[in-house]
Amino acid sequence: MIRVEDTIASSPRLAVPTPSASTPPSAPTEQLREAALRYAEERHWDVLPGTWLEEGDDGAVHCSCGDPVCAEPGAHPSRADWPGQASGSAVAVRRMWRNEPRASVLLPTGRTFDVIDVPEVAGCLALARMERMELPLGPVLCTPTRRLAFFVLPGAAVKVPDLLRRLGWPPYALDLTVRGEGDYVVAPPTRMTGAGCVPGCVQWARHPTEMNRWLPDAEELLSPLAYACGREAAARRGR
């Protein structure tokens, strides 16, 4: 059986893609559809189609939503009622991507997983420390906007603020965001961009595999993540 991680182009572990000017504005449509199907079928994740990147007459890349100042170009829901649109049904996923084959692949959070989102530098530092500590890890995403997203059990969004206080960190003192119910994360091989960054594909820093099907609790990962974010914040203040 072909697995999710086999359908997405391989890349150096934690490397952020830097596509050339000749890179097409969207991932090949068949890759988007097949990845969405496998997330639903193999991981039992709900999947949602989103906006996509388009190249304008001026040669610049824009979000398909048409907003010239879009905050998440190519990587946000296209409908206000998106929570009800998301589905883990292969039939529904095929229909959604048949209607719009260029759609980005979004995964609603707060259902089968939450996500802890941190800056790339802090995330790499924390990931290395977690591996040395042999902590259980779930999938980890790496985005062109230089963020790492750690998959954890649902419910993290509710308890992380209190857990941070117990660790001695005010919840809003760190560049650490938890995405839970009512939010979403962008999945590979979606191509996206952001303020000040080159368009590129979302990639897996740690692929979904049978070994990490059971996700860690946020409490297991929060200490190294908070430490790494605090260290990066201190480094920025010292520059």
User: pLDDT tens, 98-142?
Assistant: 999 999 999 999 999 999 999 999 999 999 999 999 999 999 999
What is the Cα–Cα distance from 93 to 13, expressed in whole angstroms?
A: 29
Specify whether the CB–CB gap between 198 and 18 falls below 8 A.
yes
**Inter-axis angle of helices 90-99 and 29-42, nearest 10:** 160
Residue 225 near residue 162, CB atoms below 8 Å: no
pLDDT tier at 197, thresholds 50, 70, 90 = confident
The residue with greater pLDDT, 22 or 194, is: 194
Please identify which residue in the block is written with the tokens 């960190």: 169
**What pTM was computed for the model?**
0.87
Which amino acid is it at 153?
A: L
Q: What is the pLDDT of residue 174?
A: 94
Give per-residue pLDDT as tens, 54-101: 987 777 899 999 998 999 999 999 999 999 999 999 999 999 999 999
For position 1, what pLDDT does the model report?
A: 39
- Residue 12 host element (H or E): none
User: Peptide bond before 189: cis, by omega within 30 degrees of 0?
Assistant: yes
Rounded Cα distance between 202 and 145, Å, is 9
What phi and psi, each to the nearest 5 degrees, are found at residue 94?
Answer: -60, -40
The pLDDT tens digits for 13-51 are: 344 333 333 344 456 789 999 999 999 999 999 999 999
Q: How many other CB atoms sit within 10 Å of the CB of residue 119? A: 20
Q: Sorting pLDDT into bands at 50, 70 and 90, what band is 239?
A: low
